[in-house]
Structure 1
Amino acid sequence: MATETHALVSYPVDSTTFKPDWRFGSVKLLRSPKEHELKIRMVATGICHSDIVVASIPNQPDRGLTFPKVLGHEGAGIVEAVGPGVTAAQVGDPVILSYSHCSECDLCKVDQQPYCLNWALLNIVGEKGHFETQADGEDAPGKFFGQSSFAGTSIVSEKSVVNLKGLVSSEDEDELKLLAPLGCGLMTGSGAVINGAGVKPHDIVLVTGLGAVGMGAIMAAKIAGCREIIALDRVAHRLETAKELGATRVLDTTTTQQNFAEEIQKLVGGQRISVVVETTAAVPVINESLKSLGKHGKFIQLGAPGYGTEITLPLQQFFTENKSFECQYLGNTTGQAWVPVMIKWWREGKFPVEKIVEYFPAKEAVRAIRQMEDGTTIKPVLVW
């Protein structure tokens, strides 16, 4: 039986501008949960840069990637129904949603679920037959990242569910709203620092880009006791927030020349930068950050590159100085493993998510996206 709900729907991009076409309106959720699926009433969902990246991709029917589509992958909500075989949660439980994975490929079997061999199929392509747009009756695939949390009600994969029963207040939904972004951006940044880089107190960490991913990395580096944490961005209020969260030095790129590697070295007095956490996916920033990385350092690329983005890696220098370049997903962990860790940090006052979150009514999603893109808002959260 179909359920009426509202959703932010992504329509096909203009093939010349590649700008997303977002439209908020009524949709029909076409079915009930099947085996290992749950029906979730969304309380809130974070907006992530990856939503914008995917919404900017042209239709690719040969790869199964078609629009319109319901995106969204930082959902938080209440379980309304469960399908056969579900053990992750029961009706009424509060949950945070993260990504999906197959559990069957060789990478999943060795606890490398973010790199699942079926990851794109399960998290980007999604499934048809979930939503129907009210305006034109078109099929809009769901289960993006196993969840499609840009809908007020959605059918989600059990693999995407992190049960928060006993971890958040059951009396009101304010904590659930605040913690919604833990399922992707903050997990990606904090997990990259702790799990991906394995930082130690002697490390100097450079974080480029101060959205939720970058801020998560800064908070984690502070928790790990890193001796220097350098934050780089072009938006002044983000740099100020980064200092509140643990950055020891900041660089405003609007006040420097395009070649800022030398400025970074001045900030640290020529000391070795051992870890770079890159979240912007902007080629000029990547190139200068590569120059900044010290001997035997690790460069971690987290920012999702746009369609066709390429860089040139100075391989001879990287080989001679024993540097590494890695592209990492989702903190090298799972939501089930990492969300409780971040909640514990938050309750201890070490992971103050409230300093970066701004709430928007779901119907104002397009305004929220624009404010994230122009730097006004660090982490917009849509409230249903």
Structure 2
Amino acid sequence: MDIETQALVAYAPDSNLKADWRLEQVKLLLSPKQHELKVRMVATGICHSDLVAASTPPIPEWGMTFPKVFGHEGAAIVEEVGPDVTVANIGDPILLSYSYCDDCSLCKIGQQPYCLRWAQMNMSSGQGYFETHDGQHASGMFLGQSSFAGTSIVNENSVVNVKHLLQSDDDLMLLAPLGCGLMTGSGAVINGAGGQPHDIVLVTGLGAVGLGAIMAAKIVGCEEIIAVDRVAHRLETARELGATKVLDSTKVRGNLSEDIRNLVQGRRISIIIETTGAAQVIQECVQALGKHGRFIQLGAPPLNFEIKLPLHAFFSANQSFECHFLGNTTGQEWVPVMIKWWREGKFPIEKLVKYFPARKALQAIHEMETGTAIKPVLVW
């Protein structure tokens, strides 16, 4: 039987690539198949990746077709389990992250964020899961979950069972954003860069990804943590979360790399975590990296952007430029770690979250785009 539910549906963007979001009643057309669960969404974080994807022109070969239900930082209660599901039972509270095949050569060596079937599992699956109010089929299973729907079908590998990790229903709502941005930023510092107390870490962009990196660098005890952004209240939040120095990029008059080097008084910056994806920021921050340093790109750069990499200088200084996904980890592995930190007061995500009822989803998106809200969470 079809299930009526509310959903934030993305229709094809206009010619200027402006996203077309519509909050409407839809029908969930399918029951959970093998290794799938039907869930009632409690809350979901809005991630910058959702906004980017909704502004991308249709690319059928990538599974980017519209209309589509995005959302990939869900918190939910299990309502039905399909065949062979072992991760959760009906009534269990769960958090949701990305999906992976668990069978390819990279998954088998613990590299699930780089799964050889990642695009198929997270972008192009889920055709025909929803029907819009005017009868169009809308795809679901975005990153294994499509959490911008009040009721959704999710992939078992996206599920993190948290029934033994929560103390209240409010916990589930607050912890919704752990499955992507915060995992990506914190995991990049610890799992990706292997941050140590002797490191000087530079973080560019202070959304949830960047602030997750700031908190992780503080947990590690890094010698210096430099935060760069153009929004004043984000810079202040970064200070509260562990940044030792901040740089307002709107006040840079020359080259950003020069101001960064001056800020650390010429000392060696050993790790750069870049989350903005902005071409100029990437290009200039490459010049700030110190000897034997690691530049880790997390923010998606513009299409067709080519960086001018000073290869001889990189070789001579034994530097590296790396592109990392999803904290080099899985939700099942890393979400419990972040919850433990949160309980210990080391990962205060409540300072980032702003709740919005689902009916105000468009306002939440607007506040994220303007920088007013760092991590908007829709409450279903």
Please state which band the TM-score falls in when normalised by the shorter chain. Answer: over 0.9
Cα–Cα, structure 1 residues 267 and 240, in superposed 2: closer, same or farther, change >3 Å?
same
Q: Deviations over 1:304-324 (max 9, x none)?
A: 224333322222221121110
Residue 7 in 1 paired to residue 26 in 2?
Answer: no
Q: Which amino acid aligns with 1:129?
A: G
Aligned to 2:179: 183
Deviation at 1:247, TM superposition (A): 0.2
The residue number in structure 1 matching 2:313 is 317
Alpha-carbon separation, structure 1, partners of 2:353 and 2:302: 25
- 2:132 is matched with 133
Q: Spell out structure 1 runs of 4+ moving beyond 3 A.
A: 306-310
1:77 paired residue number: 76
1:167 aligns with: 165
In the TM superposition, 1:88-99 aligns within 5 A as 88-99=87-98
8 A contact 2:203–2:214 mirrored in 1: yes
Question: Given the alignment of the two structures, is residue 251 of structure 1 paired with residue 247 of structure 2, yes or no?
Answer: yes
**1:157 alignment partner in structure 2:** 155
Q: Deviations over 1:188-221 (max 9, x none)?
A: 0000000000011000000000000000000000
Counterpart of 1:75, as a letter, is G
Tell me: CA distance 1:52–1:306, structure 2 relative to 1, closer, same or farther (3 Å): farther
Q: Per-residue deviation at 1:64?
A: 3.1
In 1, Cα distance between equivalents of 2:85 and 2:186:
29
3-state SS, counterpart of residue 128 of structure 2 = strand
Q: Indicate yes or no: 2:354 matched with 1:358.
A: yes
The aligned counterpart of 1:59 is 58
Distance in 2, Cα, partners of 1:251 & 1:69: 38
Corresponding position of 1:227: 223
Distance in 2, matches of 1:64 and 1:204, equals: 40
Distance 1:158 1:261, change over 3 A: same
Structure 2: distance between partners of 1:285 and 1:65: 28
With over 3 angstroms needed to count, the CA separation of the structure-2 counterparts of 1:75 and 1:188, relative to structure 1, is same
Contact map agreement 1:43 1:173 (CA 8 A) in 2: no
Specify every segment of 5 or more residues in structure 1 that has no aligned partner in the other structure, as ranges.
Answer: none
TM-score by length of 1: 0.97
CA distance in 1, matches of 2:151, 2:287: 46
Q: Distance in 2 between matches of 1:271 and 1:351?
A: 28
**In structure 1, what is the equivalent of residue 207 of structure 2?**
211
Supply the RMSD in Å over aligned alpha carbons: 1.0
Give the number of equivalent residue pairs. Answer: 380
C-alpha contact (below 8 Å) 1:53/1:304 kept by paired residues: no
Q: Which runs of 5+ in 2 are unaligned?
A: none
What SS does the corresponding residue of 2:104 show, helix, strand or coil? coil
Counterpart CA distance in 2 for 1:28 and 1:317 is 57
Name the SS of the counterpart of 1:273 in structure 2.
coil
Which residue identity lines up with residue 154 of structure 1 in the other structure?
S
Where 2:6 maps in the other structure, the secondary structure is strand
How far the C-alpha of 1:358 sits from its partner, in A, is 0.3
* In 2: Cα distance, 1:312 partner to 1:144 partner: 34
Question: Quick one: distance in 2 between partners of 1:253 and 1:339?
Answer: 32
Tell me the CA shift for residue 258 of structure 1. Answer: 5.3
C-alpha distance 306-39 of structure 1, shift in aligned 2 (>3 A): farther
Q: Distance in 1 between matches of 2:371 and 2:103?
A: 40
